[in-house]
Amino acid sequence: TAHFKITHNNGQQIVVVVTRPDPKTGKTVSRSFKANSLQDLRDVKGAGEAVRFFENYSTRSIFGGKGGLQNFHVRLNVAYLLGELVVRKGDPSKGIPDARYTAATYPLCEVVDEPRQLDAIKVVAVRGLVRLMRTGQPEAPYDLRLRVAECFANQLKRPYQRSLARQRIDHHLQHIWYQEVLVEGLAGVGILVNKQAEPFVETVLAGAMADPNRHFLVRTAAAKAIGRAPLGGAFDDGLRSYQLAELAGQMSVAYNKAPTAGYWPRCYQQLYFAFKGISKSETTVAG
């Protein structure tokens, strides 16, 4: 009969010590197996039993470690479910949405904050967080909304992809699609100012819109988001209108250089919706 001891840091720096009697001498013999991750442990010669002990008995986090010990599809589905936990059924016929579990905000924020997590998982987490801010029960307080907004804003500070053509080469940088989802999400959190009474949501969105290094898909998504974010009396519509016009001019110059690029229809559509609602019923988060 074997005995074992497992120590690890959320799936990292794993040590499995297997102890059993030597069949020849009867003396107790211990063997230690060390690795930086479960995958590395699987590659250690003679560690098959240690791997089975770890998989069956260790306490592991879905999203912890190097982006999560669980495989991609498990993490993706858990992130989705956290944003869809219904605590009270709504009535679609009356326009009443399902009320969702507000406390799921905390693990989803941790998913977004984790620098080693895949952007594909973070996209689902961001959309789940926006859903919770809009339909959470109990209603999300200001401090929680600010936590989510700052989480998104901090993500936009990461090094990012600039070109669709270089996405495979620049796979380690923040994906263009994820940048779009972040600016859309920031507009949907439902707050205007931070604790210093600064209109930081507007400032972050305007910064992304005016950033010449970002892709036009991201910049126009930010422009569209500004039109849907709650804006206060200090909103400088003259400055933002000028920035939108400048963006349109830059797009025209770039379009003339590469008119067949497939992203232009979406870019111009998003720019159009910066000025106009998609439907008559569309409102900002603040109503």
Same structural domain for residues 101 and 236?
yes
Q: What is the pLDDT of residues 154-187, one digit of tens each?
A: 999 999 999 988 888 888 899 999 999 999 999 9
Span 17-29, average pLDDT: 90
Same structural domain for residues 146 and 256?
yes
What is the domain-level CATH number for residue 16? 2.30.30
- Domain count along the chain: 2
* 279 within domain boundaries: no
Same structural domain for residues 88 and 194?
yes
Residues across the chain: 287
* 99 within domain boundaries: yes
User: Are residues 68 and 62 in contact, defined by beta-carbon separation less than 8 angstroms?
Assistant: yes
User: Are residues 7 and 50 in contact, defined by beta-carbon separation less than 8 angstroms?
Assistant: no
Residue 41 has pLDDT above 60, yes or no: yes
* Structural domain ending residue among the three candidates 57, 82, 98: 57
Q: What angle do CA 239, 241, 244 make, to 5 degrees?
A: 110
Residue 116 has pLDDT above 80, yes or no: yes
Residue 65 has pLDDT above 70, yes or no: no
Backbone φ/ψ region at 10: left (φ over 0), alpha (ψ -120 to 50), beta: left
Residue 66 has pLDDT above 60, yes or no: no
Same structural domain for residues 156 and 246?
yes
* 79 within domain boundaries: yes
* 194 within domain boundaries: yes
pTM: predicted TM-score of the whole model, two decimal places = 0.76
Give the pLDDT of residue 282: 55
* 282 within domain boundaries: no
Same structural domain for residues 13 and 133?
no
Give the pLDDT of residue 156: 97
Domain that holds residue 138: 72-272
Give the pLDDT of residue 271: 94
Same structural domain for residues 36 and 98?
no
Same structural domain for residues 247 and 115?
yes
* Structural domain ending residue among the three candidates 33, 57, 81: 57
Query: Between 63 and 134, whose confidence is greater?
Result: 134
Same structural domain for residues 29 and 119?
no
d(CA 216, CA 207) in angstroms, rounded, equals: 13
Task: Quickly state the pLDDT bin for 285 (edges 50, 70, 90).
Answer: very low
Task: Quickly state the pLDDT bin for 233 (edges 50, 70, 90).
Answer: low
3-state helix, strand, coil in the chain (%, to 5): 50, 15, 40
Residue 82 has pLDDT above 50, yes or no: yes
Mean pLDDT check: name the lowest of 10-24, 122-136, 164-178, 237-251: 10-24
d(CA 7, CA 20) in angstroms, rounded, equals: 18
